[in-house]
Amino acid sequence: MEEVEVGCARPTGGPVGETVEEPKEVVQQTPKEVTPMIKVGKKAPDFTAPAYHQGKFGAVKLSEYLGKWVILCFYPGDFTFV
Amino acid sequence: MSIDSVFVHKMWNDNELSKMVNGGVPFPMLSDAGGRVGKVFGVYDEDAGVETRGRFIIDPEGVVQGFEVLTPPVGRNIMESIRQVQAFQLVRNSKGKEATPSGWKPGKVTLKPGPDLVGKVWEVWKTEMAFD
């Protein structure tokens, strides 16, 4: 095994060799789903997510925090360096 | 929030982060398998399969007041996020009568936008204040 320098992004793999031909789509699909854009001054999309907090597993729903200020942070992965 | 499971969150908190922060992480660590939430917020990197460093400030009405997104190698300035929340709170408490100019910190001069302020910002706000 060759040692790989690990950066901040999670190392990923994938299929190698000849590319497998993906079956051609016969029928034009319905228009691609539009990714909602986040805009300042507009409502944040609500979501629910599994959570770990102070020794307990649970779930957090963004709308449960209505009435409070929220800082929602995303990051590349646990045990990363930055 | 990251794409890691809550089990990995537990291991990271219990084995490493609790050694950095007394009592461990004080807020919920959320799991976003497959980046489904990250996609909606525009921070999921499909190629790397991870979420980038997105940070969203959401007010008590659920409205996004600000956001910042960085690529993975550069960390955030937490104090700047706190400063922005304090600024948004001040504006909200003043019911929009006050605004915080560049470089504002708690205790510093705010602006009161209105006809009297047009062309007069230079009298109440100095350029050095942006670099404090």
**What are the sequence ranges of the domains in chain B?**
6-73, 79-131
Does B29 or A5 have the greater pLDDT score? B29
Assess B90–A contact: CB distance below 8 Å, yes or no.
no
Residues 6+ apart with CB under 8 A from A41: B63, B64, B65
Q: pLDDT at position A13, please?
A: 72
Residues 6+ apart with CB under 8 A from B110: B90, B94, B98, B99, B100, B101, B104
**A 44-73 residues with CB < 8 A to B:** 44-47, 49-54, 57-58, 60, 62-63, 65-73
Q: pLDDT at position A9, please?
A: 65
Q: pLDDT at position A36, please?
A: 62
Residue of A nearest to B67 (CA): A40
Smallest CA–CA distance, residue A46 to chain B, in Å, is 9
> Does B50 contact A76 at a Cβ distance shorter than 8 Å?
yes
Residues of B in contact with A49 (CB under 8 A): 1, 30-32, 37
Contacts 24+ apart (CB under 8 A), B109-114: none
Helix, strand, or coil (residue B83): helix
Assess A38–B contact: CB distance below 8 Å, yes or no.
yes
Q: What's the pLDDT tens digit per position in A9-51?
A: 666 677 777 766 666 666 666 666 656 689 999 999 999 999 9
Distances (CA, A) of A79 to A9, A15, A76: 11, 26, 9
Write down how long chain A is.
82
Write down how long chain B is.
132
Nearest Cβ partner of A68 from B37, B60, B76?
Answer: B60
Q: What's the pLDDT tens digit per position in B56-105?
A: 999 999 999 999 999 999 999 999 999 999 999 999 999 989 999 999 99
End-to-end Cα spacing for chain A: 26
Q: What is the ipTM of this complex?
A: 0.93
* Residue B57 near residue A71 (C-beta atoms within 8 A): yes
Helix, strand, or coil (residue B124): helix
Q: Specify burial of residue A44 (Cβ count, 10 A radius: 0-12, 13-18, 19+).
A: buried
Q: What's the pLDDT tens digit per position in B29-45?
A: 999 999 999 999 999 99
User: What is the CA B73 to chain-centroid distance, rounded?
Assistant: 18
Q: pLDDT at position A81, please?
A: 80
Sign of CA dihedral B4, B5, B8, B13: positive
Instruction: Give me the residue label for tokens 């590319």.
Output: A19
Which has the closest alpha carbon to B61: A78, A44, A31? A44
Instruction: Report whether pLDDT(A8) > 80.
Output: no
